[in-house]
């Protein structure tokens, strides 16, 4: 079994109002050295596959079909061997 960790972020050309709000809040808290904030989403998939390459293919397909909007978002997938600590209730 493989764990796919997927970072989904807005493409650089897309405005990020949530990131702007967080940046303003950080500036107000005294973090003037923070130049920019871009917010995103993280997803974890546990995939039963024979190889890491197959797990990556499945995760990529899931991103392209559902998890990420190909027009406005980029995604980055990290694959590692592992099992979920506790399986969620079905």
Asked whether the beta carbons of 9 and 73 are under 8 A apart, the reply is yes
Is 21 inside a domain boundary? Answer: yes
Q: Is 86 a member of any domain?
A: no
How is residue 14 written in tokens? 């897309």
43 lies in some domain: yes
Q: Name the residue with higher pLDDT: 89 or 70.
A: 70
Model-level pTM greater than 0.85?
Answer: no
Provide the domain count of the chain: 1
The whole-number average pLDDT for the span 2-12 is 97
Quick check: is 15 in a domain? yes
Res 88 pLDDT > 60: no
Domain range for 44: 2-81
Tell me if 89 is assigned to some domain: no
* Residue 57's CATH number: 3.30.1280.10
Is residue 70 in some structural domain? yes
Q: Which helix (H) or strand (E) holds 59?
A: helix 52-62
């Amino acid at each position: 079994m493989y764990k796919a960790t997927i970072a989904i972020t807005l493409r650089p050309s897309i405005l990020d109002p949530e990131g702007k709000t967080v940046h303003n809040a950080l500036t107000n808290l005294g973090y003037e050295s923070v130049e920019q904030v871009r917010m995103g989403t993280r997803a974890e998939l546990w995939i039963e596959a024979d190889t890491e390459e197959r797990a990556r293919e499945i995760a990529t397909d899931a991103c392209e079909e559902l998890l990420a909007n190909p027009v406005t978002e980029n995604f980055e997938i990290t694959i590692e061997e592992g099992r979920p600590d506790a399986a969620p209730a079905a």
